[in-house]
Amino acid sequence: MIVIGAGPGGYVAAIRGAQLGLKVCVIERESLGGICLNWGCIPTKAMLRSAEVFHLMHRAKEFGLSADGIKFDLPAVVKRSRGVAGQLSGGIGHLLKKNKCSVIMGEAKITTKGKVSVKTDKGVEELTAKNIVVATGARARELPGLEADGDLVWTYRAALEPVRMPKKLLVIGSGAIGIEFASFYNTLGADTTVVEVMDRVLPVEDAEISAFAKKAFVKQGMKIMEKAMVKQLDRAPNKNGGGKVTAHIEVGGKVEKMEFDTVISAVGIVGNVEGLGLEEVGVKLDRTHVVTDEYCRTGVDGIYAIGDIAGAPWLAHKASHEGTMVADLIAGKSAHPVKPETIAGCTYCHPQVASVGYTEAKAKELGYKIKVGRFPFIGNGKAIALGEVDGMVKTIFDAKTGELLGAHMIGAEVTELIQGYVIGRKLETTEEDLMETVFPHPTLSEMMHESVLDAYDRVIHM
């Protein structure tokens, strides 16, 4: 089995394939671990943790503590973040070696069915395999006129290795990537504006959660512009770097000009499909993504596509599950396809946001008669003790069967809590199962229980 790409989909597919007795070769053109580990999920969380600690230090008095002269050292924050990414990337290399997966650093192209040509520093190497797994991931989308230059206008890469601390920051896009960077830089003191073309921030989340998040962001000092579009960026760079950017922002049919020193563009991603020879061997593409069935089969015998290149949801954990599934399929084992509605989405801004399953609006659109439960953080003893009282848990059930249709959360550590509901969705849990489960006290998880109780008019602590 040849795996093209060593991100969270590719390296997991390789290791699982090796576990099942397959001879595996992984081809990677940049860094083991892919974008997620090196330039996405992991380093951003390290930076956000620094911002979280910085924020908590300013709240020291609330906890009976004192802290004077609180400062941040941005280069040191970045250094720690890069160190975390480097440590984990090295760990992937060790895991692949431990599982006897060969690794070739280079650029791959499928030349014909079962054959891959790899361009390396030493020349060209030809490989053959019965099965090829394409896991090349995606990169930041760049819109005409809003292209990144690494100085005044950044994508996620430049935002992870900033050339300066922004004073006045514009973030274009309020999905997970945009909001996380907005949260980080805003916490460190940047005057932050977020522009979202949709009618609300975090548009894939439940509308009630989006509204709660917006209120929190505004309270933190962010300016949120919804139903707005950046039409143009006028750049006036300085000779020694930096400068200013005048953004032309259309809101309500009128164009407003606003000045910033830094812009972060977070307007989605495009799949890395170029140069792989996919269309030449018969693989169908839909814009920049590979068309697959639920088992990640491309329609061309022996060629699979997993992760971001195979389309939404663009999440590392989805890619890893697909990697395992495809390896099982290739090895002749029972394979379980990914169901998007059972995959959690997590956003690590402050406050955190997490969800799984249908939103209230989607459940109604699908024709369900529903019961909805809610429970606020302020009603939970552990949340009060932690000093984290801003947040809520929302659950949605099928009124007829009691099936858990969706769960939506905002507040401290909800990205850790959501997995309880993910398991519930996978096991087709009903309200009765959840009500009869004993949740430990005192924990934040008790709010998950109370939200279920509220949906059936049995809530205790509210």
- Catalytic residue list: 441
- Is the CB of residue 208 less than 8 Å from the CB of residue 224? no
Interatomic CA distance for residues 80 and 112, integer angstroms:
44
Tokens 């060629």 belong to residue? 303
From 178, 150, 155, 112, select the one nearest 347 (Cα to Cα): 178
Preceding peptide of 313 cis, ω within 30°: yes
Q: Please provide the DSSP assignment of 210-222 as one string.
A: HHHHHHHHHHTT-
Residue 168: helix, strand or coil by DSSP?
strand
Taking a C-beta distance cutoff of 8 angstroms, is the pair 370, 364 a contact? yes
Nearest to 136 by CA among 305, 280, 349, 302: 305
Going 434 to 435 to 441 to 444, the CA torsion angle's sign is positive
**Residue 113: phi, psi to the nearest 5?**
-55, 120
Edge-first strand listing for the sheet containing 303-305: 102-105, 25-28, 2-4, 132-134, 303-305
Distance CA 180, CA 166 (A): 15
